[in-house]
Amino acid sequence: METVLVVGAGQSGFGVATSLRDKGFGGRVVLIGDEPGLPYQRPPLSKGYLAGTAGDAQLRLRPEDFFAEKNIELIPGRVASVDRDEAKVVLEDGSAHEYDHLVLATGSVNRVLPVPGSTLDGVFTLRTKDEADVLRAALESAENVVVVGGGFIGLEFAAHAGRPVTIVEAQDRLMARVATPEVSAYFADLHEEAGHTILLGKGVAALRGEGRVAEVELSDGSLLPADLVLVGVGVEPRTRLAEGAGLAVANGVVVDEHLRTSDPKISAVGDCANFPCVQAGTATRLESVQNAVDQARAVAAVIAGEPAPYDSLPWFWTDQLGAKLQIAGILTGAEKTVVTGDREGGKFSVLSFRDGVLAGVESVNRPPDHIAARRLFAADPAPRFETLEANGFDLKATFA
C-alpha cells in the first residue's frame, strides 16, 4: 500500500493529511510532529488565547477521534534526517519510516534578536502553544512590557496583552513589510489611542540585566525599563532537513508550480516552501494560514493524481484593538494607492495598483470589500485602474 509521510503536524501538514482523505486517497497517511498534543492552529495564540478569551478547544484543529476515523497515523517525534536513496526518514529516537511520497511541512522558527542579552530570562518569542502559555503567565506579574518589532505578531501581542506596552520598531512605520503607509498610520493611531508608546526608527542595541532582563538599550543609547520583552522580528524557514537531504534550498525549500522539490518524490508546503507565486511574478515564501491550507490541498491533489499548477490568491488577516485588517493579493511594487470608504470611522479599504492593474486590497472592518476583492482577483484579468475609477473605486459594483 502506498505511504504518504508528512513531516510537521502544523497547519499545512494537517491540511495535507486531511485533504488526501478528502480526495479519496486510500493509502497510508502518516503525520509526524515534534510538538506535544494534537495538531493546533497558531492565529489565536497572539489573539484570544493570549487574552484568555479562547482556550485549548479553540486552538485544536480537530479532536482526537477524527484522526482514527480518517485513518491518519499520528507519530510524535522529530525527524532528524531524510534518506532519499532508501526513501525513508529517521527520527531522533532512531526509528525509521519509509515513504512513497514525502511532504515537508516543517514551518518556520522565530528569528532571534542578534544582540547581547537576547537569552536573558524575561525575553520571549511567540510561535508555539508552549511559548504562549509561559508568556501568558509572565504577563500577569510584568510591570514594564516592551515589544521589539512592530509587525503582525508584535502588534497582536500588544493589542491583546491587556496593558500599555512600548513598541520598538526599526523601520519608520508599523507593518512596513506587508502593509501600505495608509494602513500603517491607521494602526499606529489605534495603538497610541490604546495607550501604547510607539518608537519608530529605533534599533535595539542590547537587552540588559543580571540573569533577567531589566532594560532595553536602544541604538541611540537610550534605556527603556523592561521586565518582559516580546521579540517579534520575523521568522526563518525550517530547512535543515531539506538541506541535509541535498534538496535545493534558497529562502525556503525550493519547489516548482506543483510544489515539488528538486526530488519529485518530495514536496514542500506552507511557511517552509519557496514557490513560484503567480501574483507576485517571482519566487515567494508566504507565512499565512491561506498559503498553508491551499498549498496542502494542491499537494494532496498532485499525490492523488489530479495535478494542477498552484495559483491560489494570497490573502491574510490580523485582529487588533477592534480592527480587522484583511489583505488580498500582493502589495509589493505598487505604484499607486487609493483609499475608499470611511477612514475616520474605521471602515475603509486601500486599493494598490501595479502597472495600472489592481494588485492588492487591504480592508479595515470592510469584509464585503475583501470578498469582492478576492472575486475580482479571481476574474481574469484583474481590473485596471480606469475601470475601478469609472465605478468610483467601488469594489462590489465593479464585481457585480
C-alpha cell at 18: 486531511
Residue 241 in contact with ligand FAD, rule: CB under 6 A: yes
Tell me the HSE value of 50 on the side-chain side, using a 13 A CA sphere: 29
Residue 238 in contact with ligand FAD, rule: CB under 6 A: yes
Of 30, 103, 158, 292, the one binding ligand FAD (CB under 6 A) is 292
Nearer to ligand FAD, 261 or 340 (CB): 261
Residue 294 in contact with ligand FAD, rule: CB under 6 A: no
Residue 274 in contact with ligand FAD, rule: CB under 6 A: no
**Piece of 159-167, 269-277, 338-346, 366-374 that binds ligand FAD (CB under 6 A):** 269-277
Q: How far is the CB of 314 from ligand FAD (least distance, A)?
A: 10
Q: At what angle do helices 289-303 and 11-22 cross, to 10 degrees?
A: 40
Q: How far is the CB of 320 from ligand FAD (least distance, A)?
A: 10
Binding-residue pattern over the window 123 to 152 for ligand FAD, x denoting contact by CB under 6 A:
---xx-------------------------
Of 106, 144, 340, 363, the one binding ligand FAD (CB under 6 A) is 106
How far is the C-alpha of 143 from the C-alpha of 187, rounded, in Å? 24
Q: How far is the CB of 260 from ligand FAD (least distance, A)?
A: 17
C-alpha cell at 141: 506579574
Nearer to ligand FAD, 34 or 394 (CB): 34
Residue nearest to ligand FAD (CB): 10
Count of residues that bind ligand FAD according to CB under 6 A? 36
Residue 329 in contact with ligand FAD, rule: CB under 6 A: no
**Piece of 9-17, 111-119, 339-347, 361-369 that binds ligand FAD (CB under 6 A):** 9-17
Residue 7 in contact with ligand FAD, rule: CB under 6 A: yes
Residue 288 in contact with ligand FAD, rule: CB under 6 A: yes
* Phi-psi category of residue 98: left, alpha or beta, with phi > 0 → left and psi -120 to 50 → alpha: beta
**Piece of 43-51, 223-231, 297-305, 391-399 that binds ligand FAD (CB under 6 A):** 43-51
Nearer to ligand FAD, 81 or 391 (CB): 81
Residue 79 in contact with ligand FAD, rule: CB under 6 A: yes
How far is the C-alpha of 17 from the C-alpha of 61, rounded, in Å? 12
The cell 494534537 sits on which residue?
38
How far is the C-alpha of 374 from the C-alpha of 158, rounded, in Å? 29
Residue 237 in contact with ligand FAD, rule: CB under 6 A: no
**Piece of 94-102, 162-170, 255-263, 315-323 that binds ligand FAD (CB under 6 A):** 315-323
Nearer to ligand FAD, 117 or 151 (CB): 151
Residue 82 in contact with ligand FAD, rule: CB under 6 A: no
**Piece of 11-19, 112-120, 166-174, 257-265 that binds ligand FAD (CB under 6 A):** 11-19
Of 4, 5, 13, 229, the one binding ligand FAD (CB under 6 A) is 13
C-alpha cell at 50: 493570549
Residue 8 in contact with ligand FAD, rule: CB under 6 A: yes
Q: How far is the CB of 169 from ligand FAD (least distance, A)?
A: 18
Q: Largest alpha-carbon pair distance within the chain?
A: 65
Q: How far is the CB of 91 from ligand FAD (least distance, A)?
A: 8
Residues that bind ligand FAD (CB under 6 A): 7-13, 32-35, 42-43, 45-46, 78-79, 105-107, 126-127, 153, 238, 241, 270-272, 287-290, 292, 316-318
